[in-house]
Amino acid sequence: MTKTEILKEYFGHTSFREGQETLVDGILDGRDVLGIMPTGAGKSICYQVPALMLDGLTVVISPLISLMKDQVNALWQAGVRAGLINSSLTAEQAKQTYRAAYAGELDILYVAPERLMSDGFLNLCNEVKTAMVTVDEAHCISQWGQDFRPSYLKIAEFIKTLPRRPVVSAFTATATEQVREDIKELLELEEPLEVVNGFDRRNLKFSVFSPKNKFDMLLGTLERNKGKCVIIYCLTRKKVEEVCAKLCVSGYKATRYHAGLSDEERRQNQEDFIYDRKNIMVATNAFGMGIDKSDVGLVVHYNMPKNIESYYQEAGRAGRDGSMAECVLFFSAGDVRTNRFLIDNSDDINPELTEEMRENIRKKDIKRLEKMTEYCRTTGCYREFILKYFGDSAPDYCGNCSNCMSDFDTVDITIAAQKVVSCVYRLKARGRTFGRKVLADILMGKKTQKTEQWTDLSTFGIMSQDSPDYIDGVISFLTERKYLEETGEYRVIDTTVYSPEIVKQKKSLFMRYKKPTAEPEKKTYDVNDIDYKLFVSLKNLRMKIAKREKVPAYIVFSDVALRDMCRKKPVTLEQFINVAGVGRLKTQKYGNEFCDSINNYLNFGRVEEE
């Protein structure tokens, strides 16, 4: 079969997405490739399609046990022979997988990087022809990446042990220029075909809020997204427990996930979420790497994450099926302090790292935290900020983020800036500097334990008529433009070489300041120009089939496929196979049930009940 026939036969698509075909062609031409594609762009298609055409076994290296299971599940559902080798298998299951690979009964074999250099796996790859080695989550090989794993450094050594060098393909969703260079060098890619598909996820709406009460805003956010599958990320296990308990008391079907739970409870809670028994997962960043659940409609970061790479990867778990989805971040100054503490006191000490490597990683983590904080405080377009961080070009207005959709005033902050910088100078003259919170309290004249000794300062209370948000905005503006800087272990505000421009030259400054806005209009579902009643009916049918097959609902069909069914309304198998995401095997397995359901709805108004 041709690549296009395979794409339709097994994966139900009639054409490749942007960048996919170029990478597929490169692999089929025998070239190494590097694909940088955003989450949801279809990276797996780029190696799964050629794997079905190459002569030999494709080995896919992935650090994500849950993703391996999901992808192998989905591949078998589509008719592709796939297996996995990782620590989740029993000894007998591992033997069965090895026997299948030796017998030529597998096209694709997923493996954890820690298993590569084991005797059993090395023997297999030396006796069975390896046509391609695919490195998923390739950013893990770089110390500049957010998920550095020393085990990835052994991949190049593993490839050298093979009787003949296979095609090597590498893929990741989030990689700066430095990380991309590390991937190519450390994997020893040979003149790779490189496709950077852009990092933009146009179907995602990005919002940042600094609410006085995060939980109240969370309830409002969930109400506006009623019925959607939701992930809520918290920084600490304690916060996960607190938020999950409050949601359950409030009547929501929520579960939790963090490293403090037993393996069995984590597995059960993850399955409850994946199989839609619970539609809200409250978790630390321990959850979600590699969860291939395509129908997440909302991702909330209850706390600011420690870097933009992690944020974009976690937020990118929304809308993987191409549907419109929201990514909401609740920001507070306390999040910065908590992240700094977690970086300085990380208990994730890898014994393979030297002290020098650990210190370098810590310094890089602090720099990334500063950039993440800058993102949360920007008055510009959030999408533009993210894309430029990854080296992508972007306009300064996207129309689909909370800043672009907010009403801003351009205000003259010349006098306010002079007051702030003057206060910093006067504190320095007395040998002290403070973080932005204490600095703002002094400017407002707020008497606290930390400010009581500064009441005689000429700038104490000089901005008592201004709101805390406004003062924080002015401080952020000045630090972003280097008139002030946040420095040192405790992130104190200090002057810079440009500070005299404010107090001596009295430079005119103007700042965008967000006007207060009303709560967004409540919304319980996304119609998306389809018959919503039919859509719900098909979702109910999909759930019945998923329970019968004992697989997650999105493995049966994605929401994108259901929406296309609502548009095309197929009532015969010939019509059904033309639905997006529907291949031959799924047409044979499920086509009659869906066609009958659609026919009953069109002719008799009957719907599938929950």
Beta strands in 489-565 (DSSP E): 492-495, 510-514
Show the tokens assigned to 416: 């306010």
CATH number at residue 125: 3.40.50.300
Report yes or no on 256 lying in a domain: yes
| Co-location of 96 and 158 in the same domain | yes
Whether the pLDDT of residue 519 is over 60: the answer is: no
Output the CA–CA distances (angstroms, integers) from residue 174 to 42, 334, 383, in the order listed. 14, 26, 14
For the chain, the domain total comes to 4
Is residue 210 domain-resident?
A: yes
- pLDDT score of 146 more than 80: no
- Residue 379 and residue 437 share a domain: no
In a domain, 609, yes or no: no
pLDDT digits (tens, 9 = 90+) for 31-59: 999 999 887 778 899 999 999 999 999 99
Which stretches of 378-406 are DSSP H helices? 382-389
Supply the mean pLDDT for the chain.
89
The pTM (predicted TM-score) of the whole model is 0.73
DSSP state of 579: S
State the Cα–Cα distance between residues 414 and 421, nearest whole angstrom.
11
Co-location of 470 and 581 in the same domain = no
Burial class of 513 by CB neighbour count within 10 A (0 to 12, 13 to 18, 19+): middle
Picking from 140, 164, 196, the residue at the C-terminal end of a domain is 196
Q: Please report the pLDDT score of residue 282 as a whole number.
A: 96
pLDDT digits (tens, 9 = 90+) for 399-421: 999 999 887 788 899 999 999 99
User: 154, 80 in Cβ contact below 8 A?
Assistant: no
In tens, the pLDDT along 419-466 reads 999 999 999 999 999 998 999 999 999 999 999 999 999 999 999 999
Q: Are residues 422 and 338 located together in one domain of the fold?
A: no
CATH classification at residue 435: 1.10.10.10
Residue 516: the pLDDT is 56
The verdict on residue 125 lying in a domain is yes
Per-residue confidence (pLDDT) for residue 406, from 0 to 100: 83
Residue 518 pLDDT > 60: no
Question: Do the domain assignments include residue 526?
Answer: no
- Whether 170 is in a domain gets the answer yes
How far is residue 160 from each of residues 164, 188, 343, measured CA to CA in Å? 8, 10, 36
| pLDDT above 60 (res 520) | no
Mean pLDDT along residues 183-206: 91
pLDDT digits (tens, 9 = 90+) for 461-489: 999 999 888 898 899 899 988 999 988 77
Instruction: Tell which of 455, 480, 514 closes a domain.
Output: 514
- Considering the domain architecture, whether residues 504 and 545 belong to the same structural domain is answered as no
* One domain, residues 154 and 218: no
Domain range enclosing 367 = 204-389
Query: Where are the strands (E) in 121-252, listed by range?
Result: 130-135, 167-172, 193-196, 204-209, 229-233
The one-letter code for the residue type at 109 is L
C-alpha–C-alpha distance, residues 421 and 481, integer Å: 13
pLDDT given for residue 525 in this prediction: 43
User: Is residue 571 in a domain?
Assistant: yes
Residues 281-286 have a mean pLDDT of: 88
Beta carbons within 10 angstroms of residue 278's beta carbon: 21
Q: Tell me if 269 sits within 8 A of 241, measured CB to CB.
A: no
Measuring CA to CA, how many Å separate 231 from each of 221, 383, 568?
A: 12, 20, 31
Among residues of the chain, what percentage have pLDDT more than 70?
Answer: 95
pLDDT at 267: 85
Residues 455 and 547 in one domain: no
